Structure 1
Amino acid sequence: MNVLTVDYTADDAPQRFVESLHNTGFGVLTNHPIAKEKVQSIYDNWYEFFMTEAKHDFLFDPKTQDGYFPPSVSETAKDHSVKDIKEYFHCYPWGKMPQHLKDEVMEYYQLANALAQELLGWIEEHAPSDVKVRFNQSLPSMVEGSEGTLLRVLHYPPITGEEEPGAVRAAAHGDINLLTVLPAANEPGLQVVANDGSWFDVPCDFGNLIINIGDMLQEASGGYYPSTIHRVINPTGGRTEHSRISLPLFLHPNPEVKLSERYTAGSYLDERLRELGVK
């Protein structure tokens, strides 16, 4: 499976990047505008937060979905029965979060959101005409001013051997949203499935930016842009003792955006959250 690694500054970057998204659902960018030092600082500071009991002061709100989600309520991937081995925090500009972490993470939120909207422009520009006509409005405008775009800070704890049988850090799943922007994590483990059912490691050199299609864009494009199934496998050997921090930005359209004849963005999200058991 050929997930392309594309230099963001190259003249042919938009075409090659969109080609990778169409063929695999994933693309990887280098030399992009998000400094790896900024990402590393967020990883370090949020890891320290996850190590404290203060996280429980920010327990998530089931209605608004902001705040801290402990392992006991972690997601169960669609068609799976065992919860993932993770805890996480949902960051929205309007949501609750630790004050000492807010400025840094919201600066990143705005930077990654702006880049994602640019990439949506690439995706629309290089789509075939019969796919473009399916979009009820331009892709960047779908997320303009959206209060639903979510920055999730994930902590996958070390593996102790006492986990529930069959549990993995993130079971095979597709993302719900339009587009996901993911800096390479501090530990490997992200894999994507090929058409023949085999699994491949996604290039994860620190500093890379991994982009993948979500279910909403698959729906809106009539399947031209595939929401490819991916997972985070458990580490082995000495790496079982390491935590893994991840920072996906899930780009969500405004709820009234019409994805297809079947769904608005709001109705699609509501259906999926109920399937995941978090609503």
Structure 2
Amino acid sequence: MTPISTIDLSLWRAGGESAANVAREVDEGLQRAGFLLVREHGVPRELVADVRAAARKFFALPEEVKAQYSTIVGGRGWIPPGMEADGYAEGTETPPDLKESFTAGPETPVGDPVVDDVWFGPNVWPAEVVELRVLLTAYTEAVRKLSNELLALLSTALGLPGNYFEGCTDRPTWMFKLNHYPPLATVGEPESGQFRIGPHTDFGTVTVLDREPGEGGLQVYTEEGGWEDAPYDPEALTVNIGDLLEYWSGRRWPSGRHRVLPPQAGAPEEDLVSLIFFYELNHDARVTPLAPPIGTVAGLEPVISADFIKSRLDKITM
């Protein structure tokens, strides 16, 4: 048994009692683990395969070539190994994560240079993998559409009228990450307490993950079961909520705590690529936590989305 529920979005779209049952299962599942498996999500599998193939092509480039596109954590482009330690977000001091990443984000400037430089700057596209730009543009459009649908579902699951979150996502901030987890021969023997991604929670509203299964793969933490391997369904996307939505829900739903194990001795050649879409809100969205009886904690102060996210990004930068 797993604490992570599997939901079928086609039943949600059908309306009526079917949709009500899905919303109820979402609420119960997120209270348990902050994670869901989502089927009938509408993201084309062939697009996913093409994105992953292009990602592998980029990550296989020589380091000096990738270095032309290097950036800092939270920026656009290649984040080399050793730059990020996600465990620091929750105060766990770990060695750097055993991964490299390629990131992209929205190019929808608001006209304020201070805001645009941080949240809406230009993406960086490698000339050596020209197809990456078209593929990632198509993929992020599809997953953003899905994320908006998920927020509508979450609004219903909270018993709120209409789509409570809709007015906060007309020009949202988000980040898309291709994470590459190299094999043991590439990264060497992990240090004590070192992971492909250290234990952490995500920062925004919903995270949509397309992952490859592996022995050095995703684990999810719950109060009841501790650390457990996350269930894998090739037809489903893995979805978890982040700190901002936990806060907005008045702590009703815990932000899904998770980690990615280091390469395992039993699978030294394992080489994985994950596609991760971190969704947030408009940079200036004011989030007022839901009070009891929907929320479980009273008296939480309002926050501004961009300030909330930036404070967490700063913690994980090495």
Q: Same fold (TM over 0.5)?
A: yes
Deviations 1:55-90 (A, max 9, x none): 22111156x611110002123422223111111011
Q: Determine the structure 1 residue equivalent to 2:6.
A: 5
Give the whole-Å Cα distance in 2 for the aligned partners of 1:262 and 1:30.
34
Change (3 A) 1:2 1:196: closer
Answer yes or no: is 1:83 the counterpart of 2:84: no
Answer yes or no: is 1:162 the counterpart of 2:192: no
Deviation at 1:238, TM superposition (A): 4.4
Give the whole-Å Cα distance in 1 for the aligned partners of 2:103 and 2:309.
15
Give the whole-Å Cα distance in 2 for the aligned partners of 1:209 and 1:154.
16
Give the whole-Å Cα distance in 2 for the aligned partners of 1:42 and 1:207.
17
Max radius of gyration: which structure? Answer: 2
Secondary structure, aligned partner of 1:180? strand
Give the whole-Å Cα distance in 1 for the aligned partners of 2:233 and 2:262.
18
How many aligned residue pairs are there? Answer: 270
Which of 250-259 and 35-44 deviates more?
A: 35-44
Q: Determine the structure 1 residue equivalent to 2:254.
A: 226
Deviation at 1:24, TM superposition (A): 1.6
Give the whole-Å Cα distance in 1 for the aligned partners of 2:83 and 2:3.
35
Counterpart AA for 2:43: I
Q: Determine the structure 1 residue equivalent to 2:70.
A: 59
Deviations 1:133-178 (A, max 9, x none): xxxx9313322222x2111110011123433332111111000111
Contact 1:184 1:207 in 2 (8 A): no
Ranges of 4+ aligned residues in structure 1 off by more than 6 Å: none
Give the whole-Å Cα distance in 2 for the aligned partners of 1:217 and 1:39.
26
Secondary structure, aligned partner of 2:32? helix
Secondary structure, aligned partner of 1:27? strand
Q: Determine the structure 2 residue equivalent to 1:254.
A: 282
Secondary structure, aligned partner of 1:241? coil
Counterpart AA for 2:105: Y
Percent identity for Structure 1 against Structure 2: 27
Give the whole-Å Cα distance in 2 for the aligned partners of 1:128 and 1:74.
38
Secondary structure, aligned partner of 1:218? helix
Q: Determine the structure 2 residue equivalent to 1:145.
A: 171
Deviations 1:217-242 (A, max 9, x none): 01111101210211111242442212
Counterpart AA for 1:176: F
Counterpart AA for 2:228: F
Deviation at 1:202, TM superposition (A): 1.6
Using the size of structure 2 for normalisation, the TM-score is 0.78
Deviation at 1:184, TM superposition (A): 2.9
Contact 2:29 2:35 in 1 (8 A): yes
